[in-house]
């Protein structure tokens, strides 16, 4: 009997965890979501990471350059693929991940909180894909922490992931500082322009 994609992925994750792989060739951040319908929101986490120098990595067979930081992406449903969720969370640290960004939507958005418990003490940043998911994503009990952003704010989750890694990585810290400086310069320029031009009351 041929293996299902779920079985194949579980075996791949377990093999990578057991291989004692050099963390330098594995992804730093795992981005997971409960459904492909979450991708339009979760894509913003990818965008934030890439803006501060991360790249997507699909396989450890093609390791990144020495100075490159990477992330991986999977769809993992807490309800439809619970075994895969357990395997991903339990092997994450041994596979070299530094943290996980997990997004889910709807009133049963359990993937972020369940992964936070299974992957502990690896940090998990939860992303409620929509307003209905907020209560589920932030609802872990005392002793099972999860860091969460506001509904739909996957971009902030990506930046927060970079901040966590940047706490011990001078290169990521430098890129974040440059990102922040660029943001500040943009706001200052807009403020000066508005001050000089005045407010156009004809615009509604």
Q: Is residue 35 part of a domain?
A: yes
Strand-pair partners of 73: 31
Q: Does residue 201 fall inside a structural domain?
A: no
Beta-strand pair 29-33/54-56: unpaired
Q: What is the CATH number for 65?
A: 3.40.50.1970
Domain membership of residue 156 as a residue range: 5-169
The stretches of the chain forming alpha helices (DSSP H) are 5-18, 39-51, 82-91, 111-119, 134-137, 154-166, 170-197
Q: Say if 23 falls within a structural domain.
A: yes
What is the pTM (predicted TM-score) of this model? 0.89
Distance CA 103, CA 100 (A): 10
Q: How far apart are CA 78 and CA 81, in angstroms?
A: 6
Q: How many domains does the chain have?
A: 1
Q: Is residue 13 situated within a structural domain?
A: yes
Q: Does a structural domain hold residue 184?
A: no
- Asked if the structure places residue 204 within a domain, the reply is no
Q: What is the pLDDT of residues 99-156, one digit of tens each?
A: 999 999 999 999 999 999 999 999 999 999 999 999 999 988 898 899 999 999 999 9
């Amino acid at each position: 009997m041929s293996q299902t994609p779920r079985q194949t992925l579980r075996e791949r994750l377990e093999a990578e965890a057991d291989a004692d792989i050099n963390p330098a060739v594995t992804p730093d951040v795992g981005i997971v979501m409960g459904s492909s319908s979450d991708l339009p929101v979760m894509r913003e986490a990818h965008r934030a990471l890439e803006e501060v120098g991360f790249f997507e990595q699909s396989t450890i067979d093609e390791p990144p350059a020495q100075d490159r930081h990477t992330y991986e992406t999977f769809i993992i449903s807490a309800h439809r693929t619970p075994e895969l969720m357990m395997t991903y969370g339990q092997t994450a640290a041994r596979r070299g991940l530094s943290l996980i960004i997990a997004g889910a939507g709807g009133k049963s958005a359990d993937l972020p909180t369940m992964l936070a418990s299974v992957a502990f003490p690896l940090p998990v940043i939860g992303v409620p894909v929509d307003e209905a998911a907020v209560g589920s994503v932030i609802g872990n009990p005392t002793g099972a922490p999860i860091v969460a952003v506001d509904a739909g704010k996957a971009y902030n989750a990506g930046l927060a992931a970079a901040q966590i890694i940047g706490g011990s990585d001078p290169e990521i810290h430098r890129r974040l500082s440059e990102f922040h400086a660029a943001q500040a310069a943009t706001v200052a320029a807009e403020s000066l322009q508005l001050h000089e031009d005045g407010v156009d009351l004809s615009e509604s």
